[in-house]
Amino acid sequence: MRVLGIDCGTERTGWGVIDSDGRTHALVGHGVIRSAAREPLEARLCTIAGSLRSVILEQAPESAAVEQVFYAQNVKTALKLAHVRGVVLLAIAEAGVALGEYSPLEIKTSVVGYGRAEKHQVQMMVKSLTGVEIESEDAADAVAVAICHATRSMGVARSMA
């Protein structure tokens, strides 16, 4: 199964694509969609949506996964992140790609084995699971989201067989 994982952000939205059978994960591609902080929010959202549509066309994922909205201390930041998630979910829906959503705790527990893992621990485990070191925390987080989805959805498929 080919899975696209997305780590939403207003300035940097990470993406990662893996081919997985639920147990082994091969990294197909990864990157970061950057938008300028000085640009108006609507322009940044347009950049993210357009770039993500291109990634979906190029990578042809069978499914996608996104981190669920989490509680944030700063309401403005949480609202901007929700806008980014909205355009990400729209691009995924437009492409007809199946979607999974996971909490940060589920993602970290699935990949690292500990729900309060730090970003560098997630990066280390992504490297361990894929054999590829990903410099960008945003892209590594996106690959972690994809791994979580593959592990969970393939686990469900195996248990039904």
Q: Give tens-digit pLDDT for 78-130.
A: 889 999 999 999 999 999 999 999 999 999 999 999 999 999 999 999 999 99
Domain residues for 108?
Answer: 2-160
Is 7 considered catalytic here?
yes
Number of domains into which the chain is organized: 1
Structure tokens at 50: 């357009």
Indicate which residue of 11, 19, 62, 67 is catalytic: 67
Q: What CATH number does residue 152 fall under?
A: 3.30.420.10
Indicate which residue of 7, 106, 133, 141 is catalytic: 7
Q: What are the DSSP E strand ranges found in the chain? A: 2-7, 12-20, 25-34, 63-67, 98-102
Classify strands 12-20 and 98-102 as parallel, antiparallel or unpaired.
Answer: unpaired
At residue 69, φ and ψ (nearest 5 deg) are: -65, 135
Is a pLDDT exceeding 90 seen at residue 76?
Answer: no
Structure tokens at 140: 């590594």
Classify strands 63-67 and 2-7 as parallel, antiparallel or unpaired.
Answer: parallel
Does pTM surpass 0.75? yes
3-state SS, residue 34? strand
